[in-house]
């Protein structure tokens, strides 16, 4: 069992959406310190204000996860001020939402840096202290798109596949070291946080946007139970069944379910 009580929890992408909810839930669970990382300094302050009613210490760090130097500088500050963390939640993410030939090269790189490569940097910063104590938990917020993609999600899905593989390799390496450090990877369908605004499920009664608060509680529960992977909703487990058949069958299912057209009216979050 992993407990949040009296623990130091770091959450990336915590200025809004799922990250903010995770911070609030960690505070409810009795976390001793909550460390918030995000590029959006205004959003960080808003998250901090939302935690005013809880006795835990809140630390905020404005950090651009696409900039390696910035990440290591912020990480050093966190280590200097906290002497290490207990739970690392790699939640930050971004999506471009364009067809391959329309994607912006700079944003392709940034998507991979934020969604996947920064996971390496942050783990290299905070894992050594966890190894010293032989205790800790690293949580990777990946996506169902790590398992199956669709139109206009090429860079996002590829980066989430990378984050999924990162988590798997980390888990295996820790297991081979007989480490007590745990890992969890979360693969949710679209969450109604605004990140995928404009996306339209065809059969919403079967597969609709997930409620952020529900996903948050599932994440916390999985961490507490040391569950290694969560794919939500359970309907998405049919992906593995579809993989047993030739690709054209999976492609037909995509079209029948309207998944291939779901991103047609994608808007995403408006930049502040």
**Which CATH number fits the domain that encloses residue 230?**
3.40.50.720
Contacts of 29 (CB under 8 A, 6+ apart): 3, 4, 5, 220
Residue 3 lies in a domain: no
Question: Is residue 28 pLDDT above 60, yes or no?
Answer: yes
For residue 74, being part of any structural domain is answered with yes
Across the chain, mean pLDDT equals 92
The model's pLDDT over 110-149, given as tens digits with 9 standing for 90+, comes to: 999 999 999 999 999 999 999 999 999 999 999 999 999 8
pLDDT at 264 over 80: no
Residue 134 DSSP label: T
Q: Which domain holds residue 48?
A: 8-261
Please name which of 115, 148, 142, 167 lies closest in space to residue 237, comparing C-alpha atoms.
148
For residue 72, indicate whether it is catalytic.
Answer: no
pLDDT average, residue stretch 258-267:
72
First to last CA, the chain: 40
Percent of the chain with pLDDT over 70: 95
Residue 67: name the closest of 21, 11, 100, 109 by CA: 109
Q: What is the mean pLDDT of residues 76-88?
A: 97
CB 68 within 8 A of CB 121: yes
- Tell me the C-alpha distance between 216 and 24, whole Å: 10
Whole-number pLDDT of residue 272:
41
Q: Is 43 a domain residue?
A: yes
Cβ burial, residue 203 (10 Å; 0-12/13-18/19+): exposed
Position 201 pLDDT exceeds 70: no
In a domain, 124, yes or no: yes
Q: Which residues in 20-67 belong to E strands, given as ranges?
A: 33-38, 57-62
Choice among 61, 156, 189, 190 that is catalytic = 156
How much is the average pLDDT of 199-217?
80
The total number of structural domains in the chain stands at 1
Is residue 222 assigned to a domain?
A: yes
Distance between CA 232 and CA 215 in Å, rounded?
8
Q: Is 270 within a domain?
A: no
Q: What is the pLDDT of residue 245?
A: 83
Looking from the CA of 91 toward its CB, the CA atoms found within 13 Å total: 30
């Amino acid at each position: 069992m992993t407990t949040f009580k009296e623990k130091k929890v770091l959450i990336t992408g915590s200025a809004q959406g799922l990250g903010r909810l995770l911070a609030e839930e960690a505070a409810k669970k009795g976390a001793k310190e909550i460390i918030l990382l995000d590029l959006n300094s205004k959003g960080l302050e808003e998250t901090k204000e939302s935690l005013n009613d809880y006795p835990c210490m809140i630390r905020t760090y404005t950090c651009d996860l696409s900039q390696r130097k910035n990440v290591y500088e912020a990480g050093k500050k966190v280590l200097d001020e906290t002497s290490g963390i207990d739970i690392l939640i790699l939640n930050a993410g971004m999506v471009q939402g364009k067809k391959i030939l329309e994607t912006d090269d700079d944003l392709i790189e940034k998507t991979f840096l934020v969604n996947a490569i920064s996971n390496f940097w942050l783990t290299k910063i905070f894992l050594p202290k966890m190894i010293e104590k032989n205790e800790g938990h690293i949580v990777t917020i990946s996506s169902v798109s790590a398992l199956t993609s669709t139109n206009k999600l090429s860079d996002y899905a590829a980066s989430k596949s990378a984050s999924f593989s990162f988590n798997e390799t980390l888990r295996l390496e820790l297991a081979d070291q007989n480490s007590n450090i745990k890992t969890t990877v979360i693969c949710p369908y679209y969450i109604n946080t605004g990140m995928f605004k404009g996306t339209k499920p065809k059969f919403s009664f079967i597969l609709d946007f997930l409620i952020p608060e529900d996903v948050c509680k599932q994440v916390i529960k999985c961490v507490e139970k040391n569950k290694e992977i969560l794919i939500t909703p359970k309907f998405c487990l049919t992906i593995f069944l579809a993989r047993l058949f030739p690709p054209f069958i999976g492609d037909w299912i995509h079209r029948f379910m309207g998944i291939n057209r779901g991103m047609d009216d994608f808007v995403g979050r408006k930049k502040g």
